[in-house]
Amino acid sequence: MTHTRNTPASGADEFDDRTAPPGPPSERDLDQRSLRARTEAMDVMGIGSGQYRVHSESGNDYLVDVNDRRCTCPDHAIRGVRCKHLRRVAMEITAGSVAPPSYVASTCASCGDFALVPPGASEPHLCERHRLAVGDRVRDRETGDVIVVVAVSPRRADEVTIPGRNVTVAGYETNAAYPASDPVVAAVYPSVRVTREGARPESLRAYSFPLSRLERVRERDGARR
């Protein structure tokens, strides 16, 4: 996600508002705030339970709480106005570029990093980088095959035994490079056989992988991180 960098000619930032006279904001102030909320470069990151960290163009970090409608910037804290950070967070939630305020903080079961998940989400909780869902197309990093996820298990790769083999998913030779604590993901090869009766899947057999062996195939390659 890229942010627009076209800023007002004044190079406006928080300091303009700090030097403004006290009192109720004028119409012009409000217009300026919504303009800045839309056009300034700000990085918004959800940290859970309605809280967002906003890194502003001026280099400052502010904490926005959308449930309490509060921001730690001087514009909000001192002048009590609905600042550009609150507005920007609301815009990004509406646009779907950051997680909704109901999401809660958790830990990724694959890498241990911060993860935001819906309240009551079933295990495993996964970060943005490792999040996989049933139906996702993924690339097997070992073979390059593109396969389809049919299940994301909360069980670890060293707890799940491969059917018919006396070895766990973690113990399987081609999985040696991936963490034994990775959640196990089941996937199928989506090849189709066309017969007189119609198209049928070649095989419904699901194979088990440590999660980080699989890489999500993006809809638009390279569009996102």
Rule CB under 5 A: which residues touch Zn ion?
Answer: 71, 73, 76, 83, 85, 108, 110-111, 113, 127, 130
* Minimum CB distance to Zn ion, residue 72 (Å): 7
At CA 211, angle to CA 45 and CA 140, rounded to 5? 110
Q: Tokens representing 51?
A: 């809280």
CB-nearer residue toward Zn ion: 98 or 108:
108
Task: Compute the half-sphere exposure of residue 27: CA atoms within 13 Å on the CB side of its CA.
Answer: 0
Output the DSSP codes for 77-103: HTT----HHHHHHHHHHHHTSS--TT-
* Minimum CB distance to Zn ion, residue 216 (Å): 12
Give rounded-to-5 percent helix, strand, coil for the chain. Answer: 20, 30, 55
CB-nearer residue toward Zn ion: 36 or 130:
130
* Minimum CB distance to Zn ion, residue 82 (Å): 9
Task: State whether residue 174 is helix, strand or coil.
Answer: helix
* Minimum CB distance to Zn ion, residue 74 (Å): 8
CB-nearer residue toward Zn ion: 132 or 147:
132
CB-nearer residue toward Zn ion: 66 or 169:
66
DSSP state of 225: -
CB-nearer residue toward Zn ion: 49 or 107:
107
**Beta-sheet strands, E only, within the chain:** 43-48, 51-55, 61-65, 70-71, 104-107, 114-117, 137-140, 146-156, 183-188, 192-195, 198-201, 206-210, 214-216
The closest alpha carbon to 45, from 114, 121, 120, 132, belongs to 114
The Cα 82–Cα 75 span in angstroms is 8
* Minimum CB distance to Zn ion, residue 88 (Å): 9
* Minimum CB distance to Zn ion, residue 192 (Å): 32
CB 50 within 8 A of CB 69: no
CB-nearer residue toward Zn ion: 69 or 193:
69
